Every structure is written in structure tokens, then in C-alpha cells.
């Protein structure tokens, strides 16, 4: 999976979770401060990404720094192995 694919999946997940269009995300966009995410919406976003791209996250591996910005979250997603997505199965 490439960086642009992760950002696109993130935009789709955030659009669903926040129930408003989220497009054109740039790397410096801060997830909590700029998009006003909280712990509940972050969890919902992770679950949406699990369904869409096969993101599997061990809660013990989560670090708040990984959720600072679009760039840090994208780096995190690219660093963990992805399960095959249901669409690919």
C-alpha cells in the first residue's frame, strides 16, 4: 500500500465517522486539533480502516504521537502489517 492510498482511505473513513466530507488532507493536518477528533471518533476511524484496508492494531502498540497529524498516522499505518481486506478476498 502506498502513502496516497492510506490518505485516501483515511479521508473515506473520516467522512463516514464525522458524517461530513473530508477531502484534500495534507500531511500537516492535525487529527485532534484541526479535525476535532476525540478518542471515540479515533476508535471509530480505526475500526473503519480495519474494514476497508485490513488495518489490525494491537491496543498495546498505540501511541498518541502516531495520531498527531495525517503524516504521523500515515507513517504508523505503513509500519504495521495489514490483513487482506475483505474486498480483496
Predicted confidence (pLDDT) per residue in 32-79, tens digit: 999 999 989 999 999 999 999 999 888 788 899 999 999 999 999 999
Q: At what angle do helices 3-18 and 70-79 cross, to 10 degrees?
A: 120
Report the CATH fold assignment for 3-79.
1.10.1200
Model pLDDT, residue 62: 85
Q: Which residues contact 17 (CB under 8 A, 6 or more apart)?
A: 41, 44, 45, 48
In this prediction, residue 85 carries a pLDDT of 52
pTM, to two decimals: 0.87
Domain ranges of the chain: 3-79
- Choose the weakest-confidence range: 4-8, 24-28, 56-60: 56-60
CA distance 85 to 40: 23
Amino acid at each position: 500500500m502506498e502513502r496516497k492510498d492510506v490518505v485516501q482511505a483515511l479521508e473515506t473513513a473520516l467522512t463516514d465517522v464525522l458524517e461530513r466530507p473530508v477531502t484534500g488532507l495534507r500531511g500537516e493536518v492535525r487529527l485532534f486539533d484541526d479535525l476535532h477528533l476525540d478518542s471515540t471518533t479515533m476508535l471509530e476511524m480505526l475500526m473503519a480502516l480495519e474494514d476497508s484496508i485490513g488495518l489490525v492494531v494491537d491496543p498495546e502498540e498505540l501511541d498518541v504521537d502516531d495520531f498527531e497529524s495525517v503524516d504521523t498516522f500515515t507513517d504508523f499505518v505503513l509500519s504495521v502489517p495489514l490483513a487482506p481486506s475483505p474486498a480483496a478476498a
